[in-house]
Structure 1
Amino acid sequence: MANLIVRNIDDNIVDALKARAGKHGRSAEAEHRLILESALLGPVKKSFAQALKSIPDVGDDSDFERINDNAGDRDVFN
């Protein structure tokens, strides 16, 4: 594995990293690794086809037919 050195980091960022690491019960170095991993190797985006396939079947088209209640006969803003 490689080593990574990051120079000239603002003290506020270092403090935030240490606080976040403490909150998660990890060292700052371990937290830094996880942040880099999630930012660079995070979840792979689904294709549009995969997203469509993941939509659950919620019924027949007839379940969603529009009911005509003669709304055109009245002014809906009054």
Structure 2
Amino acid sequence: MSAIVVRNLPGETHRALKQRAAKNGRSTEAEIRSILEEAVRPSGRLKIGSELAAFAKEIGDADLIFERDQTPVDAADFE
């Protein structure tokens, strides 16, 4: 797991984080993780795989079969 350090956090912000954590029954560190997780990976985000599967079901789950082209790729020539 990665670790980060936040420097120059105002005391008022730190107190507010501690209060919010206590209200949610978490440690301050767990509260900060929760805030960051929701900020960068919101629960309502679009999940493209799920959306494509739902779309396929909506149009009748078309039986499309795609076969991967197994032809070897030629190396790039930069000359």
| Alpha-carbon distance between aligned partners in 1 of 2:16 and 2:10, rounded to the nearest angstrom | 10
Percentage of pairs with the same residue: 47
Please list every run of 5 or more consecutive structure 1 residues that lacks an aligned counterpart in the other structure: 51-78
| Alpha-carbon distance between aligned partners in 2 of 1:35 and 1:25, rounded to the nearest angstrom | 14
Q: Structure 1-normalised TM-score? A: 0.56
| Alpha-carbon distance between aligned partners in 1 of 2:41 and 2:4, rounded to the nearest angstrom | 16
The number of residue pairs the alignment matches comes to 49
| Alpha-carbon distance between aligned partners in 2 of 1:2 and 1:15, rounded to the nearest angstrom | 24
| Alpha-carbon distance between aligned partners in 1 of 2:42 and 2:12, rounded to the nearest angstrom | 25
For residues 15-54 of structure 1, what are the structure 2 equivalents within 5 Å? 15-43=15-43, 44-45=45-46
Moved over 2 A (4+): none
RMSD over aligned CA atoms reads: 1.8
Bigger proportion of residues as helix? 1
Which amino acid in structure 1 is aligned with residue 33 of structure 2? R
Please list every run of 5 or more consecutive structure 2 residues that lacks an aligned counterpart in the other structure: 52-79
Which structure would you say has the larger Rg?
1
